[in-house]
């Protein structure tokens, strides 16, 4: 036994061998530890589990939210479809779905938001179907759909979209169907690009058009796809100064006679009426002739058949009527026809022709006891036909048609503008323009879609724009003015403009835009600061007194009479807007 024990004790390996075995064991343990360490690291870094957002129901692939007040984001990143109903957040801001890269279907319906910002769907590189339907959307940013490279179907149906930003769909290279049904699109310049896109780059894309056009009135009821480019008038316009004539002036009046184009200018300090004629070879206005006078304030040409008459109003010596007699034996082609001694202080002359072909003109008398006088052509000359009441110091007359019959508006220093109806060959007082005190002059224009308007100018206080409602004129808009004598509407290109001259500032050009709120509540001063007239351009002309336009050879010129400077000539220039 002792022998066996001694044999077992002495049988342990020598010391070097034990050291080697220990080293091998340590190496194996180290390798095992290092191999398990990354697994431990991965387990510690694992993100928390996703949770279904409040007001939502979630499955493995789908999320359905009803009545959410925010855009949900805590659902799984593996979700394929998200539907959001009756949500109450105000907009879809940029990057709202950057956590949903696997999303393929996204739907919004019956929500209250009205705006979609740029890059609202950034990161949805796998999205194929986007439904934004039955919401309150009024505006979409131009780059709202940027990054949706795989989007096949886009629906914006039944929203409140009146227009879409240009090139909205150029960021959707894979789109096949676009649904715009149920939107009240305004078929104006902001939407013209959509028609061009559909007939060009997007001709192979299925487009369900919006509701029939609501605006403008001339396109109402038509489909956007039925319109052509000729139905749109989209230009940037301006007035460019071309020439200037040295002497100050009080009135300018363009007219045509025997197929030639003329402009009559009243020069008070020079005491004459100057006539300019369009030179078809030199493409300029050249001097034609003059009528001498004393303190000439207005020159009105009247064409009756093949005859030309000119009424010359003067502050001294009475007014006169001249007739053009181009006899070669005469030094001047203008011959005195008759003298009009009854007008003490003439301020304005206007002419009109009645429905039965009779010709009249009226001279307003601004003297304290003066009476404005209506003259009638009898085939041989003009004779006094009717005198208006005295003592009102009349400053301006404006003929116009209301409800198809001839009317006249007389502006005065001591009463509101009075509207006269011309019936039984006499002017009979009809009404006045309410709340229109201190009005120096009234100039009207008629828009075929929106009715009859008038520009009221005041020397003291703001000028205004009014509209005829069938029985009276109602104020729509107030225009700041300082020392103004003229607020003249002109039809330039295919649009109405209004030019406002001022003694204590430069002349302003206003553009007539479409405006829906024709009915303005009484006392709504805030609304009166808004309206269809929008400032477009400032002309460096002071003390403007009159404006007139003339079309020659496809060009349109505007003459500006200035009491404190040279008479200017501007050209109306258009450039197509992009």
Output the DSSP codes for 254-301: EEEETTEEEEEEEETTTTEEEEEEEETTTTEEEEEEEEE-SSEEEEEE
Q: Which structure tokens are listed for 393?
A: 């110091």
H/E segment holding residue 31: helix 15-45
The span from the CA of 556 to the CA of 287, in Å, is 19
Question: Are 548 and 252 within 8 A, CB to CB?
Answer: yes
Burial of 83 (0-12, 13-18, 19+ CB in 10 A): middle
Question: Are 284 and 314 within 8 A, CB to CB?
Answer: no
Q: Residue 548: which of 443, 472, 413 has the closest Cα?
A: 443
Radius of gyration of the CA atoms of the chain, in A:
40
Q: Residue 122: which of 159, 92, 155 has the closest Cα?
A: 92
* pLDDT score of 292: 94
The answer for residues whose C-beta is within 8 angstroms of residue 305's C-beta and 6 or more apart is none
Question: Are 154 and 130 within 8 A, CB to CB?
Answer: yes
* pLDDT score of 517: 65
Measured between alpha carbons, how far apart are the two ends of the chain, in Å?
Answer: 114
The span from the CA of 205 to the CA of 576, in Å, is 27
Q: Which structure tokens are listed for 225?
A: 């796809």
The span from the CA of 7 to the CA of 191, in Å, is 107
Residue 96 φ/ψ region, left for φ over 0, alpha for ψ in the -120 to 50 degree band, beta for the rest: alpha
Residue 572 φ/ψ region, left for φ over 0, alpha for ψ in the -120 to 50 degree band, beta for the rest: beta
* pLDDT score of 81: 93
The span from the CA of 182 to the CA of 214, in Å, is 12
Determine the 3-state secondary structure of 198 from DSSP. Answer: helix
Question: Are 387 and 373 within 8 A, CB to CB?
Answer: yes
H/E segment holding residue 550: strand 544-552
* pLDDT score of 222: 86
* pLDDT score of 21: 54
* pLDDT score of 15: 52
Q: Residue 71: which of 48, 47, 90, 50 has the closest Cα?
A: 90
Q: Which structure tokens are listed for 298?
A: 């207005």
Q: Could you list the pLDDT tens digit for every one of the 578 residues in the chain? A: 344 334 343 444 455 455 445 444 444 444 444 444 444 444 444 445 678 888 899 998 899 999 988 888 888 888 899 999 999 898 999 988 888 888 999 999 999 898 999 999 988 999 999 999 999 898 899 999 999 999 999 999 999 998 899 889 988 999 999 999 999 888 888 888 888 888 888 888 888 888 888 777 778 888 888 888 878 878 889 999 999 998 999 999 999 999 999 999 999 999 999 999 999 999 999 999 999 999 999 999 999 999 999 999 999 888 999 999 977 667 789 999 999 988 889 999 999 999 999 999 999 999 998 999 999 999 999 999 999 999 999 999 999 999 999 999 999 999 999 999 999 999 999 999 998 999 999 999 999 888 999 999 999 999 999 999 988 999 999 999 999 999 999 999 989 999 999 999 999 999 998 776 665 544 445 444 578 999 999 999 999 999 999 999 999 999 999 999 999 999 999 987 75
The neighbour count for residue 435, using CB atoms within 10 Å, is 12
Strands 81-85 and 451-458: unpaired
Give strand pairing partners of 206: 177
Q: Residue 557: which of 276, 219, 161 has the closest Cα?
A: 276
Q: Residue 484: which of 563, 571, 393 has the closest Cα?
A: 563
The neighbour count for residue 461, using CB atoms within 10 Å, is 14
Sign of CA dihedral 558, 559, 565, 566: positive
Number of Cα atoms under 13 Å in the Cβ half of residue 347: 23
Inter-CA distances, 70 with 117, 382, 419, Å = 15, 79, 60
Task: Please state which CATH number belongs to domain 50-232.
Answer: 3.80.10.10
The span from the CA of 575 to the CA of 578, in Å, is 9
Tokens 């601004």, located at residue: 366
The secondary structure of residue 215, as a DSSP letter, is: B
Q: Residue 370: which of 347, 343, 395 has the closest Cα?
A: 343
Inter-CA distances, 463 with 395, 500, 509, Å = 16, 9, 14
Question: Are 450 and 468 within 8 A, CB to CB?
Answer: no
Residue 264: phi and psi, rounded to 5, are -105, 130
The span from the CA of 65 to the CA of 78, in Å, is 17
* pLDDT score of 11: 42
Q: Which structure tokens are listed for 342?
A: 């009854």
Determine the 3-state secondary structure of 443 from DSSP. Answer: strand
Question: Are 247 and 271 within 8 A, CB to CB?
Answer: no
The span from the CA of 528 to the CA of 570, in Å, is 31
The secondary structure of residue 28, as a DSSP letter, is: H
The span from the CA of 88 to the CA of 95, in Å, is 18
Question: Are 321 and 309 within 8 A, CB to CB?
Answer: yes
The span from the CA of 470 to the CA of 101, in Å, is 61
């Amino acid at each position: 036994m002792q022998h066996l024990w001694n044999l077992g004790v002495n049988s342990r390996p020598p010391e070097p061998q034990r050291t080697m075995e220990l080293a091998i064991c340590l190496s194996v343990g180290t390798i095992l530890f290092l191999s398990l360490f990354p697994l431990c690291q991965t387990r510690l870094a694992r993100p928390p589990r996703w949770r279904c957002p409040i007001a939502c129901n979630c499955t493995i692939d789908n999320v359905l939210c009803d009545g959410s007040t925010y855009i949900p984001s805590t659902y799984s990143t593996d979700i394929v479809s998200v539907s959001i109903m009756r949500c109450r957040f105000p907009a879809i801001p940029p990057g709202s779905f950057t956590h949903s890269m696997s999303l393929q279907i996204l739907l919004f319906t019956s929500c209250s938001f009205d705006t979609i910002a740029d890059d609202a769907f950034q990161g949805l590189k796998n999205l194929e179907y986007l439904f934004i339907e039955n919401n309150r959307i009024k505006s979409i940013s131009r780059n709202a759909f940027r990054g949706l490279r795989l989007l096949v179907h886009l629906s914006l149906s039944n929203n409140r979209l009146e227009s879409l930003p240009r090139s909205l769909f150029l960021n959707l290279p894979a789109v096949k169907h676009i649904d715009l049904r149920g939107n009240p699109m305004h078929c104006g310049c902001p939407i013209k690009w959509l028609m061009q896109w559909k007939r060009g780059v997007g001709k192979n894309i299925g487009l369900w058009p919006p509701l029939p056009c609501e605006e403008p009135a001339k396109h109402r009821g038509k489909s956007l796809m039925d319109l052509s480019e000729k139905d749109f008038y989209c230009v940037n316009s301006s007035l460019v100064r071309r020439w200037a004539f040295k002497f100050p002036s009080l009135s300018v009046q363009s007219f045509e006679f025997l197929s030639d184009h003329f402009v009559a200018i009243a020069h008070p300090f020079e005491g004459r009426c100057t006539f300019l004629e369009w030179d078809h070879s030199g493409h300029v206005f050249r001097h034609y002739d003059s009528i001498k006078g004393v303190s000439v304030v207005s020159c009105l040409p009247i064409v009756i058949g093949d005859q030309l008459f000119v009424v010359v109003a003067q502050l001294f010596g009475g007014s006169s009527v001249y007739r053009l007699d181009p006899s070669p034996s005469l030094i001047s082609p203008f011959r005195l026809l008759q003298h009009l001694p009854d007008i003490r202080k003439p301020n304005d002359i206007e002419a009109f022709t009645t429905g039965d072909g009779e010709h009249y003109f009226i001279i307003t008398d601004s003297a304290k006891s003066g009476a404005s006088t209506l003259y009638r052509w009898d085939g041989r000359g003009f004779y006094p036909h009717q005198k208006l009441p005295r003592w009102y110091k009349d400053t301006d007359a404006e003929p116009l048609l209301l409800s198809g019959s001839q009317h006249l508006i007389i502006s005065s220093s001591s009463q509101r503008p009075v509207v006269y109806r011309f019936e039984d060959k006499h002017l009979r007082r009809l009404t006045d323009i309410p709340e229109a005190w201190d009005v120096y002059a009234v100039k009207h224009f008629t828009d075929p879609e929106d009715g009859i308007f008038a520009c009221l100018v005041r020397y003291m206080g703001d000028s205004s724009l009014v509209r005829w409602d069938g029985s009276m004129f109602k104020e729509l808009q107030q225009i700041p003015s300082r020392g103004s004598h003229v607020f003249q509407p002109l039809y330039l290109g295919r649009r109405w403009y209004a030019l406002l001259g001022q003694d204590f500032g430069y002349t302003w050009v206003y553009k007539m835009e479409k405006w829906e709120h024709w009915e303005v509540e009484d006392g709504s001063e805030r609304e009166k600061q808004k309206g269809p007239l929008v400032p477009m351009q400032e002309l460096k002309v002071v003390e403007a007194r009159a404006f007139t336009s003339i079309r020659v050879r496809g060009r349109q010129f505007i003459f500006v009479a200035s009491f404190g400077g040279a008479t200017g000539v501007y050209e109306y220039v258009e450039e197509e807007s992009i």
